[in-house]
Amino acid sequence: MGGGNGLALRRAACGLELAVSSQCRSLTSRRWRSTDAQESSQKGATASMNPRWLSDVKQRTGKCITFGMKTPQTEQAGQILAEIARDWRELVAGSEGFLTGPSRRGMHRQEVVWGEMDSMGHVNNVIYNRYAESGRIGWAQKLAMLDPANKTAWKELFGPTGDGLILRAITTEFKFPMTWPDRISVYHKLRAEPTSGTDSFILDVLIMSERHQRPAARCIEDIVVYDYRIGKKTPLKPFMIDVFRDTWRLQEDAKRTNSERVVQLLGRVRELEQNSWDRQDAVEDLGRDSK
């Protein structure tokens, strides 16, 4: 937050950042750029669905309950709502291949603070890139924990002493104006399975609003492996490829499993509708016993 002069300075700083050349920068550096033209490549069950599909499912289920159902249908509706409340992150993010478990997620329920909003009353656009940055570091640290035999080598990737991971570019798509109070969870996933000889990789990023239970922003990060000792790009090391391949396999499993769950969930909701208000002889329950 701040006055007009402060806002102008922030915009000028952001504009200056956009003009910076594509010189490689450390994993903790930032290069801010946004566009609404470039779309992330998603192939899960929810890829072509309305971003508010989860809210729609809740509303559809609520309509069935309000209309009136028999006891078996009421129990089924309760089970649907309980599953959504428990597993909504897996249904929304997991169906796209993001790994949402404690051993993989970059950030979980991080609090959005009041000072991150701008004069328009919503979270400043630059802040989303910082969320992605923090999530990326958390994601990479989790990979190191999964590979204790190479823990030291993974840690060296975070500093400019040997081989390091460089953020070459970041693209951000803003989905809706998130406001305080809220919490965010940040997930990263590999866009493609890395192969031997590869010296760069793409990460898709999902910044999830916990309050609205849907994406607040998506990012695409272009990462390069850089050898600081010789000042050149270098291929992924074998230990990195092994962990990335395992990660890719888990991503594909998560996408398949959770996509199937979403399809089944939508089918169960449709069945509720057909057994309550959306049938030819439907009569709304206005207080009578519907057993």
Q: 232 lies in a domain?
A: yes
pLDDT of residue 289: 53
- Torsional sign, CA 143, 149, 153, 158: positive
This prediction has a pTM of 0.82
**Cα Rg for the chain, rounded, in angstroms?**
22
Running along the chain, 291 residues long, what does each successive block of 10 average in pLDDT? 45 39 41 39 71 94 95 96 98 97 98 96 97 96 95 90 94 97 98 94 98 97 96 96 98 97 97 95 73 49
pLDDT of residue 158: 87
pLDDT of residue 208: 98
Q: 29 lies in a domain?
A: yes
- Of 240, 228, 155, nearest to 198 by C-alpha is 240
For the chain, the straight-line distance linking the first and the last C-alpha, in angstroms and rounded, comes to: 56
pLDDT of residue 28: 43
Q: 9 lies in a domain?
A: no
Q: 285 lies in a domain?
A: no
Query: How many contiguous H segments (helices) and E segments (strands) does the chain have?
Result: 6, 7
DSSP secondary structure letters along 139-170: HHHHHHHH-GGGHHHHHHTTSTTSEEEEEEEE
* Helix-strand-coil split of the chain, %, nearest 5: 45, 20, 35
The amino acid sitting at 282 is A
Round to whole Å and give the CA distance between 273 and 64.
Answer: 6
Total number of domains in the chain: 1
pLDDT of residue 287: 65
Place of tokens 């003009």: 19
pLDDT of residue 259: 95
pLDDT of residue 288: 57
pLDDT of residue 4: 47
Domain CATH code at residue 82? 3.10.129.10
Q: 286 lies in a domain?
A: no
**10 Å Cβ neighbour count for 82?**
10
Q: 195 lies in a domain?
A: yes
Q: Are 140 and 201 in contact (CB under 8 A)?
A: no
Q: 75 lies in a domain?
A: yes
Round to whole Å and give the CA distance between 27 and 224.
Answer: 9
- Of 143, 191, 193, 196, nearest to 165 by C-alpha is 143
Residue 279, token pair as written in the block: 């049938």
Domain hosting 231: range is 23-274
Q: 46 lies in a domain?
A: yes
